[in-house]
Structure formats: structure tokens, C-alpha cells
């Protein structure tokens, strides 16, 4: 006999099918169970399309009456791009609803549960809640903080170098690690680098996967003086939107030239450096819910110092290159005291090819 937790795990697995595709909506999976057997299932595929519960209800048809619905997030209670799922669930005659977690969206936030309970439906909430929160860590952060969930990704040697003293950095990590990075790009709304990376590498910052077409994130460049070359790949390749973040001090003719080339320019702060908190606020307003940072040491330190990094992914390659002048993943001025150091919680390690991937969440002060 399967438990509520067993069926919720099935709903979670379904939700993950749409990773990177539902923003700014959450990932949601649903299964309908009758007499101990799953008779219907669904997941939210893309913003503006039917939600997970609707897919499952359509599959179940008349068999939904008297059945149990398992859903990873509280059914919505408002009219947006689609109608309220809680009302549809009640009208389908579902007898019992098991929910992974409540929805903190002010438009829902308990209202969906109330609709179900007012219809006489038995509701159980909080089943595998931790797993459901991890599934939607991006959405939960964006809907409550109004800024992107920032993932700082870096790759280094065992002695903490991201390039040799001569500046050679391709490739520190293995093909497997690089493929993992493209999976990350595919799952994120935006990718951010500094102007130094653009000038040095002329990157495309697109998603390239071996077995399927990926989704290209919005490309964002920290470029206070609008120095991005007009012939840079980011500006000319038309593969994805490119946002150049400048300050009010940026030469107006340079800004205008970038706009004429098709780039979007955001002014964040008076200068001399881009106001990072203000930029994150503006990106959040544009529904960029997740942001992958692939910058150099100075960009990484600036974001960490500003308290804007939420998660760190650090690849460590089994290589040692040495060199006092070889650069490291986090540079800038650094923190003067150990008490100021950024600390991570929930640290995990896994092998990606020959490399070790360390991941953890920044402990907020």
C-alpha cells in the first residue's frame, strides 16, 4: 500500500519535467489516485498554459469524482493567464487533496486551500514540504524577494586557480562539467558576466546541449561605461536577448550605439560602478527569476559582498597549476576579517566526470 509520501514523490518527479520552462510560474506536478492506483497525472509545462491539476483532471475525466489529488503546490485561487485550479478541483468532485506546500504568492496564500475546504474537500498540507521547497527555490525566492535567485558558478583547480598566470583558462574542468554548465544555462532565466569577460573571451553565453535543443538565457553584462564592442557575439548573434547594465556615467553615444545594435540597456546607479541591488530589482521586475553568474573574480566578490548570492556551485578539477599571479574565483578587496567571510550551509559534494562539484546555500546574515 503506497503512502501519501510515495504519491507526492511521483508528483515531484513529474514537476521536474518542466525545469527551466515555467518561469515566472513555479514547477508543479499532480497525480490523481483512486483505490490506491494512479489514474491520471500532469505537470505544468509553460507559463500561460494549463496548470498541473488541470492536465490531471482532464486525463481522469469522470473518474476524478471521489478520488484523491496529490499536488506539489497549493492550487491557485485567482484568475490570471488561466482560471483558478482550486475551483476546477472542487467542481470535478475530488474527495481529498494532499498538498506539498502552501503557495506564498499573495494572490494564493491559503485562498486555494480555503476554496477546497469550503467545498467539503478534505485537505492535507505539508507532505514532503522540504522537497517541494527545494523544487521551487527559485520561484519562492522571486515571489517573496522580488529579485532573481542568484547562482554563482565557478570552476577552479585543486589549488584554487581559475586560469594560469599567463591567462589560459580553457579548459580547467572536464567535458562532463561543461555539459553540466550548459544544463544550468538551460534551466536559468538569465546569465551574468562582467565586461572583462566580454572583452577577453567574446563569449556567446548560449546553451549548447549534445542531445537536445536548449533554452538560451537572457544575457546580462555588467558594463558601467558601455564598453561592450558593437561586434561582440552577445550583440550581433541574435541568439538571445542581451542586457547591458550601465551607470548614468556611461557615454550616451555608446549607449545609443548598443541600443541601435539591438541590445537592451539598463541604467542602474549614478556610478562609477553598477548599483547591483538596483539592477537585481530591475531584473526581477522583468520576470528574470533565476540568474546564473559566470563572471570573474571581481564580479563574484562584488555580488558576494553585496549579499546578493543565494547559491554557490564550485567545480574543483583534479589539477594543480600554482603561480602567485594566477587568478582565483573571488578577488576584489576581499574580506578583512574571518567573521565577515561568506559561509555556506547545506553543503553537498558530487562527482561530475573527474571533477568534484561542491554546492551550498549562502548563509544570510
d(CA 192, CA 42): 33
d(CA 123, CA 58): 21
Which residues fall within 8 angstroms of residue 263, CB to CB, at 6 or more apart? 228, 234, 235, 242, 243, 244
Looking at residue 135, the DSSP 8-state letter turns out to be: H
Please give the helix or strand (H or E) that residue 193 lies within, else none.
strand 190-194
Q: Are 51 and 78 in contact (CB under 8 A)?
A: no
Please give the helix or strand (H or E) that residue 49 lies within, else none.
none
d(CA 246, CA 194): 11
Q: Are 122 and 95 in contact (CB under 8 A)?
A: yes
3-state secondary structure of 348: strand
Q: Are 207 and 215 in contact (CB under 8 A)?
A: yes
Q: Are 146 and 104 in contact (CB under 8 A)?
A: no
Q: Is 53 a catalytic residue?
A: yes
d(CA 176, CA 171): 12
Query: Quick one: residue 304, left, alpha or beta (phi over 0 = left, psi -120 to 50 = alpha)?
Result: alpha
d(CA 360, CA 108): 30
* Burial class (CB within 10 angstroms; exposed 0-12, middle 13-18, buried 19+) of 268: buried
Choosing from 5, 46, 53, 131, the catalytic residue is 53
Task: Tell me phi and psi for residue 52, to 5 degrees.
Answer: -55, -45
Which residues belong to the active site? 53
Amino acid at each position: 500500500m503506497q503512502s501519501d509520501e510515495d504519491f507526492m514523490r511521483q508528483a515531484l518527479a513529474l514537476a521536474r519535467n518542466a525545469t527551466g520552462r515555467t518561469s515566472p510560474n513555479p514547477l508543479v506536478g499532480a497525480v490523481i489516485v483512486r483505490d490506491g492506483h494512479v489514474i491520471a497525472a500532469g505537470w505544468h509545462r509553460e507559463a500561460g498554459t494549463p496548470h498541473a491539476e488541470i492536465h490531471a483532471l482532464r486525463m481522469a475525466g469522470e473518474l476524478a469524482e471521489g478520488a484523491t489529488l496529490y499536488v506539489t503546490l497549493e492550487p491557485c485561487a485567482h484568475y490570471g493567464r488561466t482560471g483558478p485550479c482550486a475551483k476546477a478541483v472542487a467542481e470535478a468532485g475530488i474527495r481529498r487533496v494532499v498538498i506539498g506546500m502552501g503557495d506564498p504568492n499573495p494572490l494564493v496564500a491559503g485562498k486555494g486551500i480555503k476554496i477546497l475546504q469550503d467545498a467539503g474537500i478534505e485537505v492535507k498540507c505539508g507532505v514532503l514540504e522540504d522537497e517541494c521547497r527545494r523544487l521551487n527555490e527559485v520561484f519562492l525566492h522571486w515571489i517573496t524577494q522580488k529579485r532573481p535567485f542568484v547562482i554563482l558558478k565557478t570552476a577552479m583547480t585543486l589549488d584554487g586557480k581559475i586560469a594560469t598566470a599567463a591567462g589560459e583558462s580553457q579548459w580547467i574542468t572536464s567535458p562532463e562539467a561543461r555539459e553540466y554548465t550548459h544544463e544550468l544555462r538551460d534551466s536559468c532565466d538569465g546569465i551574468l558576466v562582467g565586461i572583462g569577460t566580454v572583452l577577453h573571451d567574446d563569449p556567446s553565453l548560449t546553451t549548447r546541449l549534445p542531445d537536445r535543443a536548449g533554452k538560451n538565457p537572457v544575457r546580462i553584462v555588467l558594463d558601467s561605461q558601455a564598453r561592450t564592442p558593437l561586434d561582440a557575439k552577445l550583440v550581433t548573434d541574435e541568439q538571445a536577448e542581451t542586457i547591458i547594465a550601465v551607470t548614468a556615467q556611461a557615454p550616451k553615444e555608446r549607449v545609443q550605439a548598443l541600443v541601435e545594435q539591438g541590445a537592451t540597456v539598463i541604467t542602474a546607479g549614478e556610478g562609477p560602478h553598477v548599483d547591483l541591488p538596483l539592477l537585481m530589482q530591475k531584473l526581477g521586475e522583468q520576470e528574470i527569476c533565476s540568474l546564473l553568474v559566470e563572471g570573474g573574480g571581481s564580479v563574484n566578490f562584488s555580488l558576494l559582498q553585496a549579499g546578493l548570492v543565494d547559491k554557490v556551485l564550485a567545480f574543483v578539477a583534479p589539477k594543480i597549476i600554482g603561480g602567485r599571479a594566477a587568478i582565483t574565483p573571488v578577488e576584489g578587496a576581499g574580506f578583512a576579517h574571518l567573521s565577515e567571510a561568506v559561509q555556506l550551509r547545506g553543503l553537498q559534494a558530487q562527482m561530475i566526470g573527474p571533477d568534484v562539484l561542491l554546492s551550498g546555500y549562502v548563509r544570510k546574515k
